[in-house]
Amino acid sequence: MGKIRLLIADDHTILRQGLVDILEKYDDICVVAEAEDGKSLVSKYFTFLPDVVLSDVEMPNLNGLDAAKEILLRDPEAKILFLSMYNSEEDFYKIVQTKALGLIPKEIIKNELVHAIRTVHKGEKYFLGKSETDIKAIITKYSSISNSNFAEARSISLTPTEKNVLLFIAEGKTSQEIANLTHKSKRTVDSIRSAIMSKLNLHTLPQLIKYAMELSFASKNKGKTL
């Protein structure tokens, strides 16, 4: 039986190389290519045609989810396994919607990682910690909710000041520009931004900007302001 030809995509070079070093020790796995962002992932997939893709979710240029959608649109038989530090139901649902076969946390132990790769290679689903019942329940819960409605639902916990700052973020304004417009200090605006990210379980600036734009879009569609 031939080796599982694997393509690894992650924008963190050290983590990516660590995965290569671990997986190359297994006789049935061969890493044929690496990608540092979503665009590279798509390009290298169709160059090397790997058996399995092991990809991060958050990457520059094109995130892992959009890269997976593009790959699966052109090759519905592609087998994609996501590696992510985010494990909320909403994140899980978005990954399932790409038609990827699996999701595992980044802190997974190597034996479990290899088992996940082998499982996905066989065309089977592998969502660590999620039973078929769990998966169906999450899909049912979120299937009728659009991205903009996700944003609106999550914004309930925010204060009017936090929503106002989000509106400025959606417009592409910096913390200093927001501070000038709201007559606050830059330090205060940065604190508000941190509070928003904490409440909404956002971990990076690109995630915050994307959320702000989704919320702004939802509000404009309903003819109201934040």
CA 38, CA 44: separation in Å to the nearest integer? 10
Q: What is the band of 18 on the pLDDT scale with cuts at 50, 70, 90?
A: very high
Provide the pLDDT for residue 198.
83
pLDDT, tens digit (0-9, with 9 covering 90-100), for 23-39 = 999 999 999 999 999 99
CA 30, CA 79: separation in Å to the nearest integer? 15
Backbone angles phi, psi at 30, to 5 degrees: -135, 120
User: In 126-190, where do the E strands start and end?
Assistant: 126-127
8-state DSSP, 56: E
Provide the pLDDT for residue 225.
42
CA 207, CA 75: separation in Å to the nearest integer? 28
Q: Which domains does the chain have, with CATH numbers?
A: 4-142 (3.40.50.2300), 147-221 (1.10.10.10)
Provide the pLDDT for residue 224.
44
pLDDT, tens digit (0-9, with 9 covering 90-100), for 143-197 = 655 554 555 555 666 788 888 898 899 888 999 999 999 999 999 999 999 988 8
pLDDT, tens digit (0-9, with 9 covering 90-100), for 59-118 = 888 899 999 999 999 999 999 999 987 667 777 888 888 889 999 988 888 889 999 999
CA 1-112-54 angle, 5° bins: 70
Residue predicted with more confidence, 4 or 142:
4
